[in-house]
Structures are given as C-alpha cells and as structure tokens.
Amino acid sequence: MTIGGVFEDLVAEAAAVSVDGWDFSWLDGRATEARPSWGYQRLLGSRLGVAQAALDLETGGGEVLGGCPALPPLMAATESWPPNIAKASARLRPRRVRIVATAGFPFRDAVFDLVSSRHPVTTSWSEIARVLRSGGTYFSQQVGPASVFELVEFFLGPQPDEGRNSRHPDHAVAAATRAGLEVVDLRSESLRTEFFDIGAVVYFLRKVIWMVPGFTVERYRDKLRQLHEKIDRDGPFVAHTTRFLIEARKP
C-alpha cells in the first residue's frame, strides 16, 4: 500500500472511533505517555478511604474514581458532558456515587472534607474553598505549562509566552492562597510522550479538544499529512507532557 493510502486509512479509522469518556486504551500500541511518579490514583484512593464526604470534579467517565478501592459514605461526582455522564453513571452508581450533571457547584457550604479533580479544565478555587469543611483538602493532578506543545506548535505555530505558561503551578498556588487555602504539597514533572502513527494524533486531538481548538481532520488535513510523512521518515513524534500535583488545605 502507498504512503498516501496508509495515511487515509489511519486517519479514517481514528476519525470514526468514539472519543466518549476519559479512557485512552485505544492508543495502546499507538502512543505512549510516561506517568508521574507520585501515582495520583493510589494517593487519591488512600484519602478517599478515610474521608466521610468527598466530591470528585469533572469525573469524566468515572475511570479514576471507579478504580479506587474504598469510597466514603457520601461520595458525589460532577460531570457536564452527556456522553461522559452516561459512562460515569454506569460505572459509579452501583457504588452509590451521586452523579451530578453540572459544571457548577450546586452544593451547600462546608459539605465535603475532600474535593478532588484529575486534569480539570479550570479550577474554581473560591467555590472549592466554600464547599470544603474546615480542615478539609483539595487534592488534584493538573496539566502543567506548555504540555504537549511540540504537537500544538506543529499545528498552530509558535505560541506566545502567556499561552505556554498559562497553567504554571505558581498560578495555582497564588489562586489557592487568594481563596483562603494553604498549599501543603506541590510537585511537578515533565514526561515523555510518543505518537507512533498519525491515527494516534488524530484520536488525541479529537479527545483533548483544547490542545488545538477547532481541530477537525478536514481543517488540518495538510498538516496531518506532513506529520504522517515525518513519522514515516523519522520515527515516533516526541512531545513532553507536564503534570503537577497540588494539595491545598482549608484552615
């Protein structure tokens, strides 16, 4: 088969597959991403095991929360995207998790002793502080600055410094402090990511929609073809994800 034929087949396959939920198993064998050394799900599980009331924000399809061995007596999770709501409900309701279909905070003051979120799009620090009980904590793994920007800039060109640094952990610390929370743990790592074929790139950009806003195969077909040829010639496309772990306590 010609290189062009392979390109069309890979793109068509990745464009057709479902991107519902927050499960990236479709990329097995097609892309790799190193994981942070701290083990977010394990650390979250240990905190949930001793909590009395907890809230998981932007839970996606409930993949992370569903993998924790023990949940508190009161466990709620929010999600606003309908396909994810259905997946989270199927996975978490058998474990008595209350699924709240919202992007907001329809909760009373000082309800939870633990609020968590993995890779939130935004962090509403003042609302998190409001719903936490005194002594409660916010525990989160977040996307850091310039994450996978090698891929972003391949499609969009060089990005301004403000874009590259918009998710810097220092900004999170400052926002948490303004909300009246005390940051008790902060860690960050840069991790190697590899895309082995153009289908993996298409799937990733369809799923992580904020990386290249407005991404569609047709809109970026020429750039996709260029990247396909680069991978075919040079091997996997290498980028670097950045992640930081933050834990903040309400006095």
Whole-angstrom distance, CA of residue 67 vs CA of residue 105 = 24
pLDDT of residue 34: 95
3-class secondary-structure state, position 56: strand
> pLDDT for 134-158, tens place per residue?
999 999 999 999 999 999 999 999 9
If 0-12 CB within 10 Å is exposed, 13-18 middle and 19+ buried, where does residue 54 land? buried
pLDDT of residue 162: 79
pLDDT of residue 5: 75
DSSP secondary structure, 166-216, as one string: TT-HHHHHHHHHHTT-EEEEEEEEEEEEEE-SHHHHHHHHHHSTTSSTT--
HEC string for 118-179:
ECCCCCCHHHHHHHEEEEEEEEEEEECCCCCHHHHHHHHCCCCHHHHCCCCHHHHHHHHHHC
Token readout for 138 is 């916010």
Low-confidence stretches of the chain (pLDDT beneath 70): 1-4
H or E element: which one contains 55?
strand 53-57
Would you say the C-alpha torsion 29, 32, 37, 40 has a positive or negative sign? negative
Between the alpha carbon of residue 105 and those of residues 53, 58, 130, the distances in Å are: 15, 11, 10
Q: What CATH number labels 3-249?
A: 3.40.50.150
